[in-house]
Each structure stands twice: as C-alpha cells, then as structure tokens.
Chain A
Amino acid sequence: MSEPLIFEISVSGRSAHAQAPDVKVNRDAIPASLRRKAAPKLPEVSELQAVRHYTRLSKLNFSIDTHFYPLGSCTMKYNPRACNSLAMLPEFLGRHPLAPVSHGQGFLACMYELQEILKDVTGMAGVSLTPMAGAQGEFAGVAMIRAYHQARNDLGRTEILVPDAAHGTNPATATMLGYKTREIPTNAEGDVDVEALKAAVGPQTAGIMLTNPSTLGVFERRIKEIAGIVHQAGGLLYYDGANLNAILGKVRPGDMGFDVIHMNLHKTFSTPHGGGGPGAGAVGVSQRLLPFMPIPVVGKTAEAYHWLTEKELPQTIGRLSTFMGNAGVLMRAYIYARMLGREGMHRVGEFAALNANYLQARLREKGFDLAFPTRRASHEFIITLKRQKAEIELTATDVAKRLLDYGYHAPTVYFPLLVPECLLIEPTETEDQATLDLFVEAMVKIWDEAKADIKQLKGAPYTMPVRRLDDVRAARQLDVRFVATA
C-alpha cells in the first residue's frame, strides 16, 4: 500500500482545464527584470488524477472518524459533522475579514456569544478569541503577565516558574517573552512540590504556568495554596488549558485563583485537529488583566456588534494575527458549545473522567502498572512499562507500534518525561464501553506476544503502509523536497 508522489504522475502539458480562468497570459504586464523565466514545477495532472491521489493518501491515515485515538493530552473526541458544515455556509466562507461590520453581524454575534460562553465556563472576566493555537494562547497569556508587571513599573520580575512535568511549550513560550524559566519538581504522588515552590518564589517571580489536571493526569490538589504562595510573592498564575476537558463545567480555573488561561478549542471544544492544525487558543483573563487582552475583541452596543481595537484597549499586548485569528475554527467551537449547552458542559468532564477511570481500572486489573496508583484518573492516566522493560525488554514504543496493527492509534508515549516508559492514555467522553474493552484486550494480547517473542514484537507494525521508519537517516540525509531526476 503506497502512493506515488503527485510529481511522479505529472506530465508536461496536462492540466485541469475547467479550473483555470479563460484568459490569455500577458507576461508583458510584468517588467522584464521582475518576470519569472521558468514556470514553477507544480504538478501537471488532470482533476481526476488529483482527486484520486489525495483520496488514496487520506486512506493511509488513522483518524478519529476511522479509529479509536486515545492520544493523551490531545483530547481526540468526536468532531461533530454539523460544526463543519455550518461553519462552511457560503456566507461565512465568503466574508472578507475587512468587510464592514454591517456585512458581518451574524458572524460577530456568534463570536460575541462564544466569548460569553467561555467566560462562564472558565470563571474569567474577559475572553479574547484571537490566538491561533494553544502555544499562541500561552504566548498571549505570558505577554499579558509581562505587560501587567510593566504597567506597574515592577521591572525586576524576570522568571517564570514551570513544573518539571509541563508541556514543552511552557518553557519555550517563556523564552519567547524574554523570561528565564525555573523548574519546580513534582512529588511522588504527582502534585507540585509545594515546599520547593515556596523556596523558589520571590521578587524575581513574574508568574507560574500550570496545567490542572496536570500532564500527569491527576488533579493538583493544593492549587489554592499554590495560588496563595505565588500571589503573595507578587506573581500571577497562568492556566494551560490543554486538560480543560477533564473539568469542564465541574471546576472553573477562575475559581482556582488563575489570572489568565488559554483554552485549546481544538481539544475541549471539539474542533478538528486537521492533521496538525488549525487550532484555536482563546485566552481568558481576570479583572486585572482585562486592559491587556490581545485585539481585536468583539464588543456589543444596543444596536450592533463591533470590533474593539487599540482605541478601546490602549494597553493591549497587540495584534497576534493579521485579522482575528482562526475565525472558522471559532465558529465550529461556537456551534459545538451551543449544542452542548449549559447541561452538556459538565457532562463532558464527567464522562471523560468516567471513561478514563474505567480504562485505568481495567488495565490495572490486567496487571499493568499505573504511574500514580493511589490517585483518581482525571480525563487521562499514565501506565508505566518500567517493569516490563526490565523483565522482557518491552518498551512504550513497542506497544505503541503494535497497537497500530490492532487498529488503535497509540497513546502519547514518553511524555511526561519524568515517568519511564510511559503511555499517557486519554479515551475522551465520546467512546463507548465496548471500544474501551476491546482496547484492553489488545493491550493484554500485546503483552502476551511480548512474553512469547519479543523480537517479533519489536518488528511491529506489520500492517501499516510502512514499517518502522529510520528517523536517524531522515535527519542526517535530509530529503525535504522532491527533485526530479532527469
């Protein structure tokens, strides 16, 4: 099962005639010194060839629509089809971002209501929708923390605290805003080491970035105390919303004491991941950060919806996208939120927790080791293969690759970095019990296979379009574009 490159089926002179405007190319419109001399080598194929090629390529993917996809920290839940078709109504697709607001009252109404819904479910005072992914939401959040301290002329705060289990984006974001990162250790039960935190805070602390439930799949129980310690030191609290699905409607980050949060709408609000994007990383802020929100924000008067820009928010951290972020993604999130409604929000958190705790209990019952056996799972949990690796050389990679053969996308592996041979498993609320049971069976079978013949297992996957790939060669003999050989 493999598909040639589109360039390999390209034939000079072929084209999809129906798709080009009926016009004579006038190269003289461009001065000779600026003119292109040789056409770019884009594919020359018929429309059918292109359709067939990309349809076939699509079939080489695992996806939520085709496979159980328990990828921890990524919330691979069902992406309702209506969210897509309604966000793609021709009027929404045709709307120019700089069109007058009189030509966008429908769109702006949706965005305004989405802001209000997100404020309510997170307990924050204001929401800006513009960040285009979680990492950009983090950037916006830390930029607001920085702007807040600067506005108070509190200029000695040079450090951002980050738990050692944090997503890599947290320290990377702090660096992009000119901060030094200081890591806070985690204790044996998966909580932040509060004594270490107390020792780390001081007049140099700008803030702390926390995920709760943490990347370890457990709820940070001493969050109020942590908030007190950081606030006491003059720092602010940033909530990484990667795991918001676990507590949606059950606990609000605003009530936990967070000053600023980002939400991954492509996780919690079920917009598609698209093979790597687009996302949307809306940010919510407490009262004291309201003046710094990224622009534009949607405002409302008695007559109409309108944009709030630097005129209304003179202390804004500024614009983070050319227009207003990933509008179409935001539309999908809005439609999803309206379908869930008030009662649907907390059910997301509840059933995500039910599925995770059930799967955790079933795997434990089959003998797998939990990373945090004394803890409840949140919406996800970690099993560690440390013992299996020592006994029979079975690694997290081996299990991940073999799961593909059984028709399951692998869980997240080797993250968080502090748990050896870990699998971070997030089933989400949209899976049924039978699917979870079949996954448990596959896990048990793989362990049995490993006991019987570990060498055979290390050859997995066997049924995918390719076997294990040589990543070292990919990096050393860099081949990142097709070059035709004559």
Chain B
Amino acid sequence: MPFIPHTEQDVASMLKTIGAPTIDALFDEIPAELKAKGLTQVPEGVSEMEITQLMHERAGLDGAPLNFIGAGAYEHHIPAAVWQITTRGEFYSAYTPYQAEASQGTLQVLYEFQTMMTELTGMDVSNASMYDGATALAEALLMAARANSVNTDGLMLVPKALHPFYAEVVNSCTHAQGIRQAVVGYDARTGKIDLEALKHYEGTKPTAVVIAQPNFFGVLEDVDAITDWAHSQGALVVACVNPTSLALLKPPSQWGSKGADIVCGEGQPLGSPLAGGGPYFGFLTCRMPLVRQMPGRIVGRTVDLEGKPGFTLTLQAREQHIRRAKATSNICTNQGLLVTAATIYMSIVGPQGLEKVASASIANTTALIEALTRIKGVELVFASPRFHEAVIRLPRPAAAVLEILADQNIGGGFDLSPFYPELGQTLLVCATETKTAKHIQTFAAALAAALH
C-alpha cells in the first residue's frame, strides 16, 4: 500500500479502539447506493522504479530543443542552489504560514521577497504573489476598479500590443464584475501604443489604463506620455512589466510626473524554469494608499510578547477567510514555493547580476535579429528600442516554417499571424543570455534552409 504505514495488527487494534468491525464500517453513514463500484480507467499501481522508467521515457519524447520562443515565458540560467534549497522539505512541504511562530522561515522569505519586488518596481508595498502574470493583471484591474472612486464605469484601456493570452485571461476573470476592455491600437511603424488612438478615448472616464513594458512585441513604450495622459483622464495606471528588464529600465514609480499606481507582471524570469507553462508566479505591487484594495496575502514585521521582531500574515481583513463574500478576491493558495525560488534567485544574482542578465539578453536578441535579417526575405518589423524580443516578417507562412524548424529540434518562435493578421507572416523571437553565437548561427542556418 503506497505511503500507508499500517500493519494488519495496527488496523485490528485501531478498529478495536474505535469499536468498528471493519474499515468499511467507518463509511456506514454513506447511503449504500452511492458507494463506488470500483474504478475502471485508473491503471494498476506501479512502483517508484517503474514510474521512474516511464517518466524518463516520456521526458525523452519531449527532448531538449534549442529554444528561441519567449512570448511570456523566458529561458534564463537558474543557479543550482536555487532549487536545491527551495525543495528542502522545510519549504516544500510546509503549509501557508497561519501558525506564524512555526513558520518564521517562510514568512521571512516572503518579507524579503516583498522588499525585493518593491525595490524593482519602485512601489511601497508588494503582496506575497498571485498565480501568474495574466491573473495578476486581472486582479490589478479589479483592484483599480475598487480603488478609483471617480471613474467608476469599469472601462479599462488595454493595448493591442499586450500579450493576447493576458487579454483573454483578464476577460475570463473580470467580465462578470462589469469590467470592460477597450483595445488601444499600436503604431504600425513603431509597434508602440498609438498616442492618437489613445486620444480617441479622451473624456471617456477610463477606470485604468494598462501599459505593458516591454510590450508583447518586445518594444519599449513611451511610458511617460501615456502615464501622464492616463492621469489627466482620472484613470489609474496599471503597469505590466518584465521583472528582469527592471534592472535596466526605470521603475514604474517614475513613469511620467506621478508614476504608475499598480504594478504587476509575470515573475517566472526570476528563477522559475519554463516547465511547460507553470508553476510560475504573478507579482503585484502598489502605492501605500491602495493597500487595502490589494488582493492576496501580505506579510508584515511585528514584535512578539518579549518585544523581539518576527513576521506574520497581516491585513487579513481583506481576505476571503475573514471577509467571505465581501473579500477583495477569492485567492488564498498562491505560488509560495516559486516566490521562495525567486527570492533566492534575486539574492544570488544580485543587482549587478540581474543587470548583466538583462544586458546579455538584449545583446543576444540584437545579434539574433542581425543574423536572421541577413536571410533574403526576412525583415525586422519594428525598428524601435526593445528589450529581449522582436518581431520578424517571413516570406512564407510562419506556421509551416515553425514545423520545419521543429523537425530540426528548434523552437523557432511564436507565430503572431493568428493574433495580428494585419502584420502578415510574422514571428516573435527571443534570445536570452542562455543563447550563444553558435546557437544563433544554428537557428539562422536552419531558417535560411527552411525558407529557400
């Protein structure tokens, strides 16, 4: 019996104490007609050795392709220490730190994490994580809707150059609460938010304006002008940012004359492996006056009855277990273990390391674009300042090209054409610090061969 320690004698003695003849008798309150007949689709159990063999076989099917896909999940080097410590049983198998005195390790990690995220984003307060970047944005918009007492219609201006899956998740998670998204187009030449398109919304009393920096095309937005315009309209500014980029880019707190109000994003680049899409973590930070509208757990430092400093979950009156139907959100379980990894990652990499990771990623993407646009018929679509991603146009449909590249064990990018048909046959490509000159050469040669 896997993971069940009982011997036959244990069972007999325990049943005797209970006063029940059999284990089945413990289920005698359940109406007989409801009892399961036995499972048919679940396979027979296997030993650890057998499952190990099977999983290695399955892993082999997935292989280890050379990856140039970004589009919201980024391949970065993760120091070995990060996951060796994170998977220590004391972090891995602990619950939410409701018993603070027996959870000071996790609580201090979260407090350190909150500090690091406020440093990166320039905000006053961070929560202890959301599920992922897309749900962090959805919650940021719900938070903005609660916080903006003047523009109360729930109109959110969302750039077309936001990750299309983020827009979908925001819709799924917020539409029942009266949130509406209006799409702000991008400038076909620069790939940035079209300031003229934005001005169409002059006087519509938007509740919030979303600014993605960098945007989905990897392009850097003119955040100052958009932030100031949004504030002039009475909107809150919700920044959706890549945390690695913040080593080089000015923090959202310094956008425009007043700064962004709420900052969110995908935390995966900070120590979470790609892992097929999760678990990652979302982060959410804000200015202090908005803290009571913030969803999710927050750790505070306080003192114990001897005056010694310690950490505890705080402002729980916002949360579902206290507030029930009036809570800021239903979230309780978050992504604590990934936050532990991120905190260790940021500590080991440090401010200098993170700046180098960001710089190397920009340099490698630039080298990638140079190599790819040397191929006849391949061109760079937006000649704007960018972070570590770019859009290239191909002379053939991207889907077919990606298939050919996949056969050569290359993840060649993300096909944009289903989401942005107006751009033609385009591909979003990314090269982080993990890509070498040789990798880039391999990709370029394979792409050239696929196209000609």
Are B315 and A338 in contact (CB-based, < 8 A)?
no
Q: Give the chain A neighbours of B357 by CB distance below 8 A.
A: 20-21
Query: In the complex, which residue of chain A has the Cβ closest to the Cβ of B409?
Result: A103
Let me know if B171 is at the binding interface, CB within 8 A: yes
**Besides A96-B73, A340-B45, A466-B304, 12 new A-B residue pairs in contact (Cβ under 8 A), listed by A number:** A35-B249, A78-B3, A91-B64, A93-B274, A97-B278, A98-B71, A136-B131, A318-B172, A404-B101, A410-B102, A465-B104, A475-B315
Q: Give the chain A neighbours of B402 by CB distance below 8 A.
A: 100
Are A120 and B41 in contact (CB-based, < 8 A)?
yes
Let me know if B60 is at the binding interface, CB within 8 A: yes
A467–B335 alpha-carbon span in the complex (Å): 27
Let me know if B445 is at the binding interface, CB within 8 A: no
Query: In the complex, which residue of chain B has the Cβ closest to the Cβ of A278?
Result: B279
Chain A proximity mask over B77-120: 1 for CB below 8 Å, otherwise 0? 10101010101111111111111111111101111101110111
A169–B330 alpha-carbon span in the complex (Å): 5
Are A63 and B3 in contact (CB-based, < 8 A)?
no
Let me know if B69 is at the binding interface, CB within 8 A: yes
Q: Give the chain B neighbours of A288 by CB distance below 8 A.
A: none
Q: Give the chain B neighbours of A36 by CB distance below 8 A.
A: 246-251
Let me know if A121 is at the binding interface, CB within 8 A: yes
Let me know if B207 is at the binding interface, CB within 8 A: no
Shortest A352–chain B CB gap in Å is: 9
Let me know if B397 is at the binding interface, CB within 8 A: no
Let me know if A431 is at the binding interface, CB within 8 A: yes
Let me know if A461 is at the binding interface, CB within 8 A: yes
Q: Give the chain A neighbours of B69 by CB distance below 8 A.
A: 96, 98-99
Are B3 and A99 in contact (CB-based, < 8 A)?
no
Are B310 and A465 in contact (CB-based, < 8 A)?
yes
Q: Give the chain B neighbours of A430 by CB distance below 8 A.
A: 3-5
Let me know if B351 is at the binding interface, CB within 8 A: yes
Cβ < 8 Å to A, chain B residues 284-342: 288, 291, 297-306, 308-312, 314-315, 317, 319-327, 329-338, 340
- The segment from A3-11, A195-203, A231-239 found at the interface with B is A3-11
Are B44 and A327 in contact (CB-based, < 8 A)?
no
Are A30 and B248 in contact (CB-based, < 8 A)?
yes
Picked from B26, B63, B323, B333, the residue with its CB within 8 Å of the CB of A134 is: B333
Let me know if B261 is at the binding interface, CB within 8 A: no
Number of residues from A at the complex interface, CB < 8 A? 200
Cβ < 8 Å to B, chain A residues 321-374: 321-329, 331, 335, 337-348, 350-351, 353-355, 357-358, 361-362, 365
Picked from B275, B277, B324, B347, the residue with its CB within 8 Å of the CB of A50 is: B347
Are B62 and A92 in contact (CB-based, < 8 A)?
yes
Are A61 and B350 in contact (CB-based, < 8 A)?
no
A177–B99 alpha-carbon span in the complex (Å): 31
**A36-B248, A327-B277, A430-B3 in contact; A96/B75 too (CB < 8 A)?**
yes
Are B336 and A274 in contact (CB-based, < 8 A)?
yes
Let me know if A33 is at the binding interface, CB within 8 A: yes
A375–B27 alpha-carbon span in the complex (Å): 11
Are B5 and A20 in contact (CB-based, < 8 A)?
no
Are B75 and A346 in contact (CB-based, < 8 A)?
no
Chain A proximity mask over B59-73: 1 for CB below 8 Å, otherwise 0? 111111101010111
Q: List 26 A-B contacts (CB under 8 A).
A: A23-B363, A23-B433, A42-B347, A53-B347, A61-B94, A100-B402, A132-B135, A134-B332, A135-B331, A168-B324, A168-B327, A175-B327, A219-B29, A275-B336, A322-B277, A338-B54, A342-B43, A361-B18, A466-B101, A467-B308, A468-B304, A470-B302, A471-B314, A475-B317, A480-B300, A482-B111
**A90-B64, A106-B57, A478-B314 in contact; A323/B165 too (CB < 8 A)?**
yes
Shortest B381–chain A CB gap in Å is: 19
Interface centre among A107, A172, A433, A471 (most CB of B within 10 A): A172
Q: Give the chain A neighbours of B352 by CB distance below 8 A.
A: 15, 20, 39, 44
Are B92 and A274 in contact (CB-based, < 8 A)?
yes
Let me know if B134 is at the binding interface, CB within 8 A: yes
A357–B29 alpha-carbon span in the complex (Å): 13
Let me know if B191 is at the binding interface, CB within 8 A: no
A15–B101 alpha-carbon span in the complex (Å): 32
